[in-house]
Chains A and B, each alone.
Chain A
């Protein structure tokens, strides 16, 4: 077979579709929330904006209690690259900066900025980039950073970090991910139907920000109206370098590496990112956020949220401000059904359960899913693994979950890393098909955090060892230095005597020899 350079092959993304290993065909359950247009959530009485929006670092508050803020004002700023800044969802007063449920996967409360709206919903002075077509790419990237934009597909990785990293790697193709493969979630579908022009605009800005020459928008084959909407928007924009590609709906084809495999046939090497192949993947909603930030100067303070599931009376999509309590969204959808048993942020496969509806909407909240007991996996006793191998068959990362499960439980950490735990994307496919109901995903999350801890410890121990050795070496050098100096001093002081003594000794030796001879 002819060998083709991977980067060259990646350039042809979307021309031909490929398969990825494993995956599941799940019931979509998306239609129920797509029937009515997206509606804005009315002003809440309180907003709770978490300073920690994701796994990274918590932002530092830039406001104080009692301060008046305008819509879009900076509330918290994160110095670390892993975090992102948060902005005021509306105008009003900061009534508290205190612990409150913050929709974090840990389930613990975290610091939130509490805002009491003044009802005016008045924007701050907006500072859009005029003429972005001619603006410097660095300026565009700075705007993305200061607008607090993160990946809105659910992983909430700061877009600025991704884009900065990409700009150093000769990106040729931007992939906009519109294939939300998890059941129930339809926020991206509704966005693509209702705001296709904004997505195309965002795509063109992102292209310019990283120097890509082309965009591929991946949508699912079951999204009927989306294709027409997007292709219409592409035509209207007058660009010719944006293609819309339909991919087969198989969970988890919306995963970044899976989507790259489907579009290019290439596997992103373990430990690398799509950017290493010249591809930048962004969610479609992220593109609209970029468009809004650059052309209108508005930071990311709202997103479309799917409120759905058997536990919600009237499922639909809503445009919600970050910080709005979940209960407000559910109320707008007719409230919970009486038998709602579980509240989930995200989808049914990868989302996490919320303990109450007092949790606020966060940037990652693509879906608020309420399920009745019969739609929730019951607590089932765990049986031993019978090694049936279903988990390997469905694993999109081609791992052997049954072996991983064994090695993690027995603390065989070297084995665990050989088996590729770090390549696990936590999609939950193995867990879903396991006849023994082994909570595989949970074990893998545990294994990953344990590995991280151990790596940290190892690194700290190594650093401590190096510090110790360096200190020892330094002390040794000092000691020697001192010794040398002391002896030098001594010699300098006793130098004369020494020489005279040497002469006397020599004379003595000669004399004794002569005495012996005679």
Chain B
């Protein structure tokens, strides 16, 4: 007799790409930089990642439940974890626990789920969370540590945990002793006080190009980013346009006035520029879809970052630049559609 079969739509070939695989590869690509961060600044980052990660998954689960979405399917896509790690990488390692709580609330609940969940958010969730805490808690957001190699006192894991959970510096120490301004902060204040950048650069927080330690972390971000490029998780357009525009404009302003403008390499290797170029601005959901659009998007982020660093009220501007360009992305997409075959 004839044999019956289940039917299904073409293509029938199994493919192996999944959202969770994409997200996991982003996480893998961040591992070298996370390691370098811990190497230079101690275990604070790990505490923040675990804290933010736990909160992110918690908020995600609650929102999925409220929105009556399949819980395990969406928790298993790891997108909330990626958001949490990117957020943790942006905040000071000793930031108190409510920084992560506030940040993750705004990232996952407001920026992601209130906009419709995975794939529908207009803004990059990690950056929304970061900008909210940056504006709301400026004091706590300056608790950056100096690299261990030049730190006056190293903190143990227990010290770090206590600091994060209590919001107070370890007993016997003050914030002034354990924290230090970031290299971009130093440049900002020294330029404001009329000092030459070359003078400021003599300070121990600076390394060969950017900040001591920071420049190495940037290298590892770049390495992870190149791996993502190779794995075709991201395309070269956004990183190239973003770094390219920063180098181009930075070089121009440096050549015009080297006294008050840092060198383009200093720009590239400090702050969140490299992580921004490879991991944040490349977020596909809130970015541009076409290659030409991505070039514009990346260049826009680069230019706005430089403008904020030079004239804005904050030492770094990557987060603001990304959010501003997120707003422009739909418009850019509309006008940068690729030519269709044969048209």
Residues of A with Cβ closer than 8 Å to B? Answer: 20-21, 26, 107, 183, 257, 267-272, 325, 327, 336, 340-344, 346, 348-358, 369, 371, 374-381, 383-390, 392-393, 396-400, 402-403, 419-420, 423, 428, 431-437, 439, 441-442
Contact = CB atoms under 8 A, between A and B. Distances in A.
Contacts of A431: 10-11
Interface in B1-45: 2-15, 17-19, 21-22
Contact of A441 (B11, B19, B338, B342): B11
Given A387-B284, A387-B285, A442-B9, A257 B342 contact: yes
Nearest to A261: B341
Interface of B: 2-15, 17-19, 21-22, 70, 73-74, 77, 79, 117-120, 232-233, 235, 284-285, 287, 289-290, 333, 337-343
B13 A349 contact: yes
15 contacts: A270-B340, A270-B342, A270-B343, A327-B2, A327-B3, A342-B6, A348-B10, A353-B5, A376-B12, A377-B8, A383-B77, A384-B117, A386-B19, A386-B79, A392-B290
A352 B10 contact: yes
Contacts of A269: 342-343
B342 A436 contact: no
Contact of B118 (A267, A357, A386, A432): A386
Contacts of A354: 5, 7
A356 B10 contact: no
Contacts of B70: 381
Given A390-B17, A400-B337, A420-B343, A436 B6 contact: no
B184 to A, nearest CB: 31
B5 A341 contact: yes
Nearest to A431: B11
Nearest to A374: B14
A375 B14 contact: yes
A77 to B, nearest CB: 29
A444 B233 CA distance: 25
Contact of A423 (B7, B19, B74, B342): B342
B18 A435 contact: yes
| Top-4 shortest CB links A-B | A384-B119, A428-B11, A353-B7, A358-B2
B119 A387 contact: yes
B331 to A, nearest CB: 14
Given A386-B285, A400-B289, A350 B342 contact: no
Q: Which label, helix, strand, loop or mixed, suits the secondary structure of the A interface?
A: loop
Contact of A383 (B11, B118, B232, B341): B118
A148 to B, nearest CB: 26
Select the residue from A271, A357, A388 with max chain B CB neighbours within 10 A: A388
A349 B14 CA distance: 10
Contacts of A398: 338-341
Contact of B119 (A107, A268, A385): A385
Nearest to A349: B11
A186 to B, nearest CB: 16
Given A377-B13, A402-B289, A420 B8 contact: no
A385 B116 CA distance: 12
B338 A342 contact: no
B183 to A, nearest CB: 34
Select the residue from B3, B17, B18, B235 with max chain A CB neighbours within 10 A: B3
B12 A377 contact: yes
A365 to B, nearest CB: 15
Nearest to B234: A388
A31 B190 CA distance: 71
B11 A377 contact: yes
Select the residue from B9, B21, B285, B340 with max chain A CB neighbours within 10 A: B340
B5 A343 contact: yes
A389 B297 CA distance: 15
B10 A351 contact: yes
A388 B284 CA distance: 5
A353 B338 contact: no
Contacts of B338: 392, 398, 400
Contact of A377 (B3, B15, B340): B15
Contact of B11 (A107, A271, A350, A399): A350
Contacts of B7: 107, 342, 352-355
Contacts of B15: 377, 432-434
B11 to A, nearest CB: 4
Contacts of A397: 340-342
A357 B8 CA distance: 15
B179 to A, nearest CB: 37
B33 to A, nearest CB: 22
A383 B19 contact: yes
B284 A389 contact: yes
A381 B11 contact: no
Given A270-B340, A341-B5, A353-B7, A371 B12 contact: yes
Given A270-B343, A434-B17, 17 more contacts: A257-B342, A267-B341, A270-B340, A342-B8, A344-B12, A353-B8, A383-B74, A384-B118, A389-B290, A399-B340, A403-B333, A403-B337, A420-B343, A423-B340, A431-B11, A436-B19, A441-B10
A76 B235 CA distance: 55
B339 to A, nearest CB: 6
A400 B120 CA distance: 17
A423 B117 contact: no
A349 B10 contact: yes
A351 B290 CA distance: 30
Contacts of A377: 8, 11-15
Contacts of B340: 270, 397-399, 420, 423
B289 A392 contact: yes
A200 to B, nearest CB: 31
A21 B8 contact: no
Contacts of A389: 235, 284, 289-290
Contacts of B9: 352-353, 439, 441-442
A434 B5 CA distance: 26
Contacts of B232: 390, 393
Contacts of A349: 10-13
A371 B12 CA distance: 9
B193 to A, nearest CB: 45
A349 B337 CA distance: 27
Nearest to A434: B17
A26 B13 contact: yes
Nearest to B8: A353
A351 B12 contact: yes
A502 to B, nearest CB: 74
Contacts of A379: 8
A306 B218 CA distance: 55
B142 to A, nearest CB: 34
A74 B117 CA distance: 60
Select the residue from B73, B339, B341 with max chain A CB neighbours within 10 A: B341
Nearest to B235: A389
A435 B17 contact: yes
Nearest to A441: B10
A397 B6 CA distance: 31
A356 B4 contact: yes
Nearest to A101: B2
Contacts of B339: 398
A342 B5 contact: yes
Contacts of B19: 383, 386, 435-436
Contacts of A327: 2-3
A14 to B, nearest CB: 20
Contact of B290 (A340, A350, A374, A400): A400
